[in-house]
Amino acid sequence: MSEQREESCAAPATLRDMSPRAMFLGLAVLASTLVGCGSGSDTTNELLEELQFNVEELQFQIDDLASLIDVTPATTPWPESYQAIWVDVCTPVLDEFIDSEVPSADLCRCTLDGLMSAFAVDDYERWDQDVKDGAAAPYLTMCMEDLAAS
């Protein structure tokens, strides 16, 4: 029974390969598991203190990263010429791939308005096309519903 308890209390081998958020959660679960595993031994107490320190350190790192990647609405407007090109490129793509009663140019304009309200053009431009498409998708869906209803 004690071998089984020791085995269930061991840290996963992949813990160090996890992302900071996954590691934070893993360490938190591990720390709570260790509380019930062999409480009172010096080794367990030392490991528990080290894990608690690691969890606190990771939380600080996650908080710092979250503040750096906080997405805030654009403070400077997207250039008019960029907006026109964006709609000009978007319109034939939607014409080819989306069957809708709503004109593609209207859908593109509405989608772009959503993107502009959420992201700075500098951030948007740094993304690869898959990320740009993913960012536009919810706005396109909302616009299709809203424009079809009006």
**Tens-binned pLDDT, residue by residue, of the chain (150 aa):** 444 444 444 444 444 444 555 555 555 555 555 445 545 567 777 776 776 676 677 666 666 655 555 544 446 789 999 999 999 999 999 999 888 889 999 999 999 999 999 999 988 999 999 999 999 999 999 999 999 888
Amino acid at 125: E
Give the pLDDT confidence score for residue 45 in this predicted structure: 73
Amino acid at 111: T
Give the pLDDT confidence score for residue 81 in this predicted structure: 95
